[in-house]
A and B are shown apart, each in its own frame.
Chain A
Amino acid sequence: AQSVAQPEDQVNVAEGNPLTVKCTYSVSGNPYLFWYVQYPNRGLQFLLKYITGDNLVKGSYGFEAEFNKSQTSFHLKKPSALVSDSALYFCAVRDTDKLIFGTGTRLQVFP
């Protein structure tokens, strides 16, 4: 079965610094990988996806993610964090006809 793991419950970063939110995957076949963000009291919003092609995927709000096949990782990155990026971030993998989500990582950006 397909799965993703997010090893960090929380990531703290100062505003203006680069941020990384980690995700590793376990799949049979080619992975379809996603990142979603959840702001307080809101539903999840799509950030970006990797299906095939370039390993560096660019998404919404200045986020990007790097697909690394050898390390089975799909880390989310942003060069310069904003306080408004503080939210819950979910990595997900496509399993046939559904998305399987990781446990989520809370990103806290401090002014």
Chain B
Amino acid sequence: DTAVSQTPKYLVTQMGNDKSIKCEQNLGHDTMYWYKQDSKKFLKIMFSYNNKELIINETVPNRFSPKSPDKAHLNLHINSLELGDSAVYFCASEGRGNEKLFFGSGTQLSVL
């Protein structure tokens, strides 16, 4: 079983559309994250949730809205997609006191 799974793996869409990326972890972790990796491979944190509660929101445009229906899931909804949103989005989870992140395999978003 994949520990942290994201869907879809690839997402190609037009500017202005709304799309969602889903993430699920089966590790029993309390904390989940969304990271964005740009074309230069630079990784930047976007959000983190702990047990369904938003902990970190790193000055991400409010077109991006994370939702955590339960602590095993953290989805990312993006409204009015822009060209600059093209990137790879990674979900990750972390157990309490674990100090180690487990990453999903990423969702490559291409906005045309």
Contact = CB atoms under 8 A, between A and B. Distances in A.
B106 A97 contact: no
A94 B99 contact: yes
Chain A at the B interface: SS class: strand
Interface string A1-23: 00000000000000000000000
Interface residues of B, number: 21
Chain B at the A interface: SS class: strand
18 contacts: A32-B99, A34-B99, A34-B100, A43-B4, A43-B105, A44-B43, A44-B92, A46-B101, A46-B102, A49-B99, A49-B100, A98-B48, A100-B45, A101-B42, A101-B43, A103-B41, A104-B41, A104-B43
Nearest 7 Cβ contacts at the A-B interface: A43-B103, A101-B43, A44-B103, A43-B105, A46-B100, A104-B41, A98-B45
Interface of A: 32, 34, 36, 38, 41-46, 49, 51, 88, 90, 94, 97-101, 103-104
